[in-house]
Structure 1
Amino acid sequence: MNSKITKKIGNESGAVAIYVAILLPVLLMVAAFGIDINHVFGVRNELQNAADAAALAGAMELNDINGVLTVEDAKLEGERVAKLHSAGGQAVSEMVIQTGHWSNTTGIFTPSENDTQLENWQDIPGDLLDLDTNFINAVRAQTTRSDSPAFFAKIFGIDSLAVTNDAVAWVGFNELTVNYPYAICADTIGWDDNNDDVPDPECNVGSASNDRNNKDDDYDPTSETSMWTNLVQDEMCSEISTNANEMKELTATCGDGAWSLNKLEPTGATNGEVVPAFNNMYQCWENFRDNNGDIPWQLVLPVVDCDDSNTCPKLLGAIQVSIVWMIDQEGPNMDYVPTEMEHPSDPDAGTQAWTWRCDPLSEGQSPETCWAEFVDKFGLKDVSGDPAAYMKRSVYFMTTCMEAEPEGNSSFNPASKILAKYPKLVE
């Protein structure tokens, strides 16, 4: 009886040995590929880190300080940063850096060979610009390790594996970060405040804004041109008045502040005369000119719907302006007339700066003629569309869409018309 059982067990152990012999190659294959796949995933993660960093670094260099497209700089910086990373114990040496267009609507990156930006893109409504593949706003980085070594897979004749990964970094628009508490009325710069989704501010519009309450016979200089704002955007906006002490403190920043605001929300403001605030702003202007000479003072300012309210107007967006002149006190002889100022763009080419000059003491010239010429060359108009008058406590500025210095983080917010300084990974 026992001998029969022993014989049966022996027969079964022999069968198991046969099964093991049959399955062993399969088990070895699974183990080999399991180890190699785990290694591949590690390499892939390292390549993803390299691609992310390269895309972001390239996108940071996609536009220069004046918002001018610099494709070659973006590609070189992307390559440089990719090479700082390693994958599978080896420095990343295989990469492709592309510039092109990212659409938030379609979620698609379209590579482009263009090295100049889409002409007059500032005049294109935001929803259409998002779909225009000729508008360069993104960098794609692809990193590869074509010879990632295989280990156990070599048993089956597989010596190496190719691994690749990519990332797209997108440069959107400023997320409405302003740097001075002086709000521009939308109508003053041709902003379409009836279209909240795609406002379309005009570029290089010259305007005059005045901070006084008295009225002339034919022209009210305080009519909906600008407002002082305390930048308060909460349920207390309508209950907290914008007072002189508060504005004095806020305006002392001289453009070095940074306030992130929410589009279409009410913002605390006043359209009355605030002498301490204007005095601070004027002193900032004087300091800027002392340090920089006769060039415009650029600020990123909020744009509000002044028809909505004079204490809690709706914020429509933000725009960069070039302040080309300020007047503190009115003199009987127009003794503070500009004699030299850099124009932010060429009237013919639309991009290159040029310098205007006028000597009121030269033959045929006077303070009056220099002022008239200055107003004409910079296209400065009052709220009625007439040439801007020489007035005390006044700010003369141009909207400078072509010269907008990148600011803030990327968001899908074409209302600002200002390219973001910091890109965002979108793929």
Structure 2
Amino acid sequence: MTAEAVAFLGFAGSLPPGTVDEPIAICEDYLKDGDGNYSCNMGRMISESEETGGWTNFDQTEGCGNVGTSQNGIGGLLCSGGNPVEIIFGKEIGTNNGMTNLLSDFYDNCWTDGSNNPPTAPLNVTLPVVECEDGTFDQSCVEKVVGAVNVDIIWINTNNASENFGNVGKNKENPPTYMVAPGHEPFSCSYTDAQTAEVCWNNFVNHFDIKDRDGNPAPYLTQSIYFLPNCEVHKPTGITGGVNYGVLSEFPALVD
């Protein structure tokens, strides 16, 4: 006896443990262009004030466990090997958009590796993509996971940053003076006073075409992560069934 079956290999529909690098989720709409397609031709900004992303504890059980920003809730997941359990697309996941304390820890321990000097190369990470109501990141286990995306984080401002460039030299994360990111010419800038610092920041966001949610050049804001989406197709993982954000599935799905 013989039988025939048809299967297809698409984009990941689940993420095995250790696939996602950090407990940071990005709103799906914020990765798309005006036509609703995934786009990586410009940078983005995750910010508490922008509500385009936030923290996740990877918990998809009923109630999503502790979604606070405490060490037990999310803090212990920073720089610790990624999601400890499988992430299933289409299910809600524990989320919290409070950036303040966790972002400082992320800056010190993941972005700078404990040093006082920001890196000159991006931090490449794979992050979960969630479906945000009205394109706005909420909290308390309301977002559904719809995919995973690989991004290059090119700058971070913590709660210690200032929108006042007169004080920028007093903070540990001054406007970037040098950064080399894949697919872009190296960026360099120097400054000696507040006015030049503002010019340096403006040159930085223009160089990498980093936008806010309204499509304007990204401002220098506190509690913000600036990143470049990645258009390369990445290592297969999990089962088929997800949205195309560049992460292929490892196992095909039976269709007939």
* TM-score range for the pair, normalised by the shorter chain length: 0.7 to 0.9
Q: Which residue of 1 is the match for residue 209 of structure 2?
A: 379
Q: Distance in 2 between matches of 1:289 and 1:295?
A: 14
Q: Which residue of 1 is the match for residue 98 of structure 2?
A: 272
Q: Distance in 1 between matches of 2:63 and 2:219?
A: 37
Q: Which residue of 2 is the match for residue 413 of structure 1?
A: 242
Aligned partner letter, 1:209 = I
Aligned partner letter, 1:359 = S
SS of alignment partner, residue 237 of structure 2 = coil
Cα displacement (A) at 1:224: 2.4
Distance 1:261 1:191, change over 3 A: farther
Cα displacement (A) at 1:326: 0.8
Cα displacement (A) at 1:252: 4.2
For the pair 1:334 / 2:176, whether they are aligned, the reply is no
SS of alignment partner, residue 30 of structure 2 = helix
Q: Which residue of 1 is the match for residue 59 of structure 2?
A: 232
Aligned with residue 324 of structure 1, among 140, 148, 154: 154
Q: Distance in 1 between matches of 2:181 and 2:118?
A: 14
Aligned partner letter, 1:322 = D
Q: Distance in 2 between matches of 1:208 and 1:344?
A: 18
Q: Distance in 2 between matches of 1:233 and 1:241?
A: 11
Cα displacement (A) at 1:330: 2.0
Distance 1:236 1:330, change over 3 A: closer
Distance 1:330 1:291, change over 3 A: closer
Q: Distance in 1 between matches of 2:236 and 2:181?
A: 22
Q: Which residue of 1 is the match for residue 68 of structure 2?
A: 242
Q: Which residue of 2 is the match for residue 315 of structure 1?
A: 145
Distance 1:412 1:273, change over 3 A: closer
For the pair 1:187 / 2:54, whether they are aligned, the reply is no
SS of alignment partner, residue 411 of structure 1 = coil
Alpha-carbon displacement from aligned partner over 1:278-319 (angstroms, at most 9, x marks no partner): 122111101298999511101111111221753221111110
Greater helix proportion? 1
Distance 1:262 1:317, change over 3 A: same
TM-score by length of 1: 0.47
Alpha-carbon displacement from aligned partner over 1:251-284 (angstroms, at most 9, x marks no partner): 242xx32453111110111123441x21221111
Cα displacement (A) at 1:407: 5.5
Matches within 5 A, 1:256-271: 256-259=81-84, 260-271=86-97
Distance 1:376 1:288, change over 3 A: farther
Matches within 5 A, 1:125-164: none
Cα displacement (A) at 1:185: 1.2
Q: Distance in 2 between matches of 1:205 and 1:411?
A: 28
Higher relative contact order (CA 8 A, sep 6+): 2
Cα displacement (A) at 1:417: 1.7
Q: Which runs of 5+ in 1 are unaligned?
A: 1-104, 108-129, 131-169, 193-198, 212-221, 347-353
Cα displacement (A) at 1:337: 0.9
Q: Distance in 1 between matches of 2:240 and 2:62?
A: 25
For the pair 1:358 / 2:200, whether they are aligned, the reply is no
**Structure with max Cα Rg:** 1
Identity across matched positions, percent: 30
CA contact (8 A) 1:319 1:401 kept: no
Q: Distance in 1 between matches of 2:62 and 2:251?
A: 32
CA contact (8 A) 2:69 2:98 kept: no
Q: Which runs of 5+ in 2 are unaligned?
A: none
RMSD: 3.3
